Structure 1
Amino acid sequence: MPAPTYLVVVDDTPESRVALRYAALRASHVGAQLTLLHVLSPTEFMAFGGVQAAMEAEADAAAQALLAEVAVQCETWAGSRPSTIVRRGEAREAVLAEIAGDTSIRALVLGAAVKGAPGPLVTFFAGERAGTLPCIVMIVPGGLDEDRLIDLT
């Protein structure tokens, strides 16, 4: 049986970084693996395919660079390098597909924004889909400071 996995949705928001740090620390405490998922919005169709392909390649490169950067941080925090995945499409569907395709996923870890709405994924997975998932959902408040974050893990 594969090691339990924490799936963390990574983007460039501050709350994503807090959730990532929590997941890495928690995974190291319980012997779990981390998988980092970044979802690229679908590109709009352009009449000039070469321009669209170049834009998609640029977005893919930026996503890979983001995941490589945070994977190094996670390795420092958790002691092991996480796996990384880039998907293109609607974020909710990409996360659902990842969870459905990997039975080792024990938790979906999301960061909630400090102000305003908690974010579209938090709203979706803690609301409409909360009772139907095959894993738990961990919502990490984006305003947690380092000391409290460590205490909670």
Structure 2
Amino acid sequence: MTTRKFLVIVDDTPECELAIIYACKRAAKTNASVVALCVAATSEFQHWLGVENLMREEAEQEGEEMLDRVLAKMAPKLPLQPERKVVIGNRIEGIRQAIAEDPSIMVLVLGAAQGSEGPGPLVSAIAGGQAGAYPVPITIVPGGLTEDEIDAIV
């Protein structure tokens, strides 16, 4: 039997940390695992193949470094170590690609920013008009939750 996985998006926002905590604690309680995804952007420069390949390699390295940095910071708070994945390209398409490539992914977990600016561009894009296009349920973790509140929810 395939282990059910939660997909959590890793970036440099504070709400990302709460989403990681939620996903890992929920996965630990439900005998699941977590995939931590960093979607590394690169430009659409395609004039010279060598330059394009170098740009993709640099973007992938930046994605790995982001995962290293964020997951190392979060490690003491996590009951399990997430699987790591880097996808190069557009964030929305990268998330869809990760879900399509791994049929074990059953839930997408996003962190919502708190404040007057709204929940953040990723949550706005996915939970807005595109929510129905995802083949998995989407869990949005409010940015104002405490770790104790997350413990009570999971």
TM range (shorter): 0.7 to 0.9
Unaligned runs of 5+ in 2: none
Task: State how 1:21-100 maps to structure 2 within 5 Å.
Answer: 21-43=21-43, 45=45, 57-72=57-72, 76-100=76-100
Deviations 1:79-132 (A, max 9, x none): 433211111111000101111222111100000011112122211221222223
Unaligned runs of 5+ in 1: none
Cα 1:99–1:10 change in 2 (3 A) is same
Distance of 2:102 and 2:16 partners within structure 1: 22
Q: Partner of 2:149 in structure 1? A: 148
- Mapped contact 1:74–1:80 kept (Cα < 8 A): no
Cα 1:50–1:122 change in 2 (3 A) is same
Distance of 2:125 and 2:89 partners within structure 1: 16
Q: Partner of 1:131: helix, strand, or coil?
A: helix
Question: How far does residue 68 in structure 1 lie from its aligned partner after superposition?
Answer: 2.7
Question: How far does residue 37 in structure 1 lie from its aligned partner after superposition?
Answer: 0.5
Distance of 1:100 and 1:49 partners within structure 2: 27
Question: How far does residue 40 in structure 1 lie from its aligned partner after superposition?
Answer: 1.1
Distance of 2:92 and 2:77 partners within structure 1: 27
Cα 1:47–1:113 change in 2 (3 A) is same
Question: How far does residue 29 in structure 1 lie from its aligned partner after superposition?
Answer: 0.3
Distance of 2:28 and 2:75 partners within structure 1: 10
Q: How large is the RMSD of aligned CA atoms in angstroms?
A: 2.3
Total equivalences in the alignment: 153
TM normalised by structure 2 equals 0.84
Question: How far does residue 13 in structure 1 lie from its aligned partner after superposition?
Answer: 0.4
Moved more, 26-35 or 53-62: 53-62
Distance of 1:41 and 1:62 partners within structure 2: 9
Moved more, 31-40 or 64-73: 64-73
Cα 1:103–1:49 change in 2 (3 A) is closer
- Mapped contact 1:72–1:81 kept (Cα < 8 A): no
